[in-house]
């Protein structure tokens, strides 16, 4: 058991930690509840449909150093995902019209804010009445759509920090999909002597200083000197009766309380592959009165409000996205129900019938991440006490239990693969410094 490390969760954070620690000569064992690695990275590689299309994480939101450096190390290339952002509102298309009225006033008031509050209450107080109804509605859509957060819980301070550090013109996609990154990390881990076990659901963690045992649902026990918990925040927050919930023996009350102080969003992702890019038809172009060849991202008021193409790539795939409270309200809908809502949304936007769309549709995939038992949500967002909670969670328990994940990242790229990789790097360095 010398220099042995157990990791629960083979998502981006767990895989990165396994790679770094095995590379440093540690004896690493990685336990994954699913039958695949990657967690919220889920690249489809069916050569018939959705080849290299993402059901989970899809974009590199900016020139993010940890992600870019890892891609270079792995010899994985990436390409631009920059494209025009459009809106469909009042039954019309508006090209490159993403300006939110009174946004400068909003930032000005946020900069004056001395005590944190949730963004919903902040807006009601500072921008009340009919005059600012559009601003409040736009911010609600932005926070729930982009951050997948509940605006009634999301920290105004954290959103201020995010909005001051946005890089809207630098979006990338990974060639071959993010799954190629996970494959690289785990292959390197195995090459360094590490072990990876799938379909292995951890249920109980028994620990004492310098020794830990993880008991799984199949009755097995795994032992090590150190345990890294790379489980999604949604699962760590879940009730004890849930499929993937782990218990700690003895309990770690301070850390468990801190886990509840960080928000975890909701999201549903919809993939439609059509026979052809029907939205580029002359008929559609005439109906919309726009040349939409370069349209990448489309925002609407429909049931599934956000859509994007694969521009600048040529593709017949449309991706739908709904986040925040609206996504959570669909927790118990079937995939068929959600797919129908997606088609109904597109029928309104592109002024065609659902039957016409069904005639063009050749494949669909729905990923309701909030209903997924090993995720239970999308990604983290800050609530009022999240910064203090992260300080607790980034402190190991007796140099034996370590938490890692995108929710523990301190920078501006919260909720991203970059956040997960950065957190794992931090934990690996901390462990390697504890020789």
149, 268, 379 from 68: Cα distances, Å: 26, 27, 21
Render pLDDT for 207-248 as a digit per residue (tens, 0 to 9). 999 999 999 999 999 999 999 999 999 999 998 888 899 999
Q: What is the mean pLDDT of residues 329-356?
A: 96
Model confidence band, residue 168 (pLDDT cutoffs 50, 70, 90): low
**What confidence score (pLDDT) does residue 407 get?**
98
For the chain, counts of helices (H) and of strands (E): 15, 23
Q: Which residues of 325-345 are buried (b: 16+ CB within 10 A; e: fewer)?
A: bbbbebeebeeeebbebbbbb
Model confidence band, residue 435 (pLDDT cutoffs 50, 70, 90): very low
Domain with CATH 3.50.50.60 in the chain: 4-78+174-261+384-432
Render pLDDT for 36-85 as a digit per residue (tens, 0 to 9). 999 999 999 877 888 899 999 999 988 899 999 999 999 999 999 988 88
Enter the pTM of the model.
Answer: 0.95
For residue 223, what are its two tokens? 């032992």
Task: Report helix, strand or coil for 207.
Answer: strand
Angle CA 104–129–135, to nearest 5: 35
Beta bridge pairs of residue 368: 268
Domain with CATH 3.90.660.10 in the chain: 83-168+267-368
Model confidence band, residue 341 (pLDDT cutoffs 50, 70, 90): very high
Q: Is the pLDDT of residue 320 over 90?
A: yes
- Contact criterion met (CB below 8 Å) for 102 and 127: yes
Percent of the chain with pLDDT over 70: 96
The CATH number of 83-168+267-368, from 1.10.1300.10, 3.90.79.10, 3.90.660.10, 3.30.70.260, is 3.90.660.10
- Contact criterion met (CB below 8 Å) for 188 and 23: yes
**What confidence score (pLDDT) does residue 164 get?**
84
DSSP, residue by residue, 115-181: S--BHHHHHHHHS-TGGGHHHHHHHHHHHHHTS---TTTSBHHHHHHHHHT--TT-EEEETT-THHH
State the Cα–Cα distance between residues 243 and 240, nearest whole angstrom.
Answer: 8
196: buried, middle or exposed (CB in 10 Å: 19+, 13-18, 0-12)?
buried
**What confidence score (pLDDT) does residue 283 get?**
76
How, if at all, do strands 401-403 and 226-229 pair? Answer: parallel
Q: What is the mean pLDDT of residues 147-167?
A: 91
CATH topology of domain 4-78+174-261+384-432: FAD/NAD(P)-binding domain (3.50.50)
Dihedral, CA of residue 271, residue 275, residue 279 and residue 281, to nearest 10 = 180
């Amino acid at each position: 058991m010398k220099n042995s490390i157990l990791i629960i969760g083979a998502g981006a954070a767990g895989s990165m930690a396994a790679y770094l620690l095995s590379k440093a000569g540690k004896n690493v064992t990685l336990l994954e509840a699913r039958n695949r690695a990657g967690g919220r990275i889920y690249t489809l590689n069916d050569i018939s449909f959705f080849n290299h299309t993402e059901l989970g994480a899809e974009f590199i939101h900016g020139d993010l150093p940890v992600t870019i450096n890892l891609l270079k190390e792995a010899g994985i290339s990436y390409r631009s995902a920059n494209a025009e952002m459009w809106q469909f509102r009042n039954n019309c298309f508006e090209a490159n019209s993403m300006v939110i009225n009174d946004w400068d006033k909003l930032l000005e008031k946020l900069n004056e804010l001395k005590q944190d509050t949730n963004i919903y209450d902040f807006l009601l107080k500072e921008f009340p009445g009919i005059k600012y109804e559009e601003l409040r509605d736009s911010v609600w859509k932005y926070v729930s759509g982009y951050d997948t957060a509940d605006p009634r819980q999301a920290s105004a301070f954290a959103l201020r920090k995010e909005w001051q550090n946005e890089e809207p013109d630098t979006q990338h996609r990974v060639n071959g999909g993010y799954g190629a990154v996970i494959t690289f990390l785990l292959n390197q881990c195995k090459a360094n002597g590490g072990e990876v076990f799938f379909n292995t659901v951890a249920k109980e963690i028994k620990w004492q200083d310098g020794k830990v045992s993880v008991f799984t649902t199949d009755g097995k026990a795994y032992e090590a000197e150190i345990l890294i918990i790379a489980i999604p925040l949604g699962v760590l927050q879940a009730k004890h009766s849930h499929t993937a919930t782990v218990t700690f023996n003895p309990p770690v009350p301070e850390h468990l309380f801190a886990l509840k102080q960080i928000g975890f969003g909701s999201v549903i992702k919809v993939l439609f592959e059509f026979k052809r890019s029907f939205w580029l038809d002359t008929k559609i172009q005439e109906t919309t009165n726009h040349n939409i060849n370069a349209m990448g991202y489309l925002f609407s008021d429909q049931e599934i409000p956000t859509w994007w193409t694969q521009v600048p790539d040529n593709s017949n795939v449309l991706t739908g996205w709904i986040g925040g409270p609206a996504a959570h309200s669909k927790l118990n809908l079937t995939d068929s129900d959600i797919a129908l809502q997606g088609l109904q949304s597109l029928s309104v936007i592109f002024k065609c019938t659902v039957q016409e769309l069904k005639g063009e549709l050749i494949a669909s995939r729905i990923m309701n991440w909030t209903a997924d038992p090993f995720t239970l949500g999308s990604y983290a967002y800050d609530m009022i006490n999240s910064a203090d909670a992260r300080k607790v969670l980034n402190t190991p328990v007796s140099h034996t239990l370590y938490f890692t994940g995108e929710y523990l990242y301190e920078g501006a790229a919260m909720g991203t693969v970059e956040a997960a990789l950065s957190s794992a790097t931090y934990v690996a360095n901390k462990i390697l410094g504890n020789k």
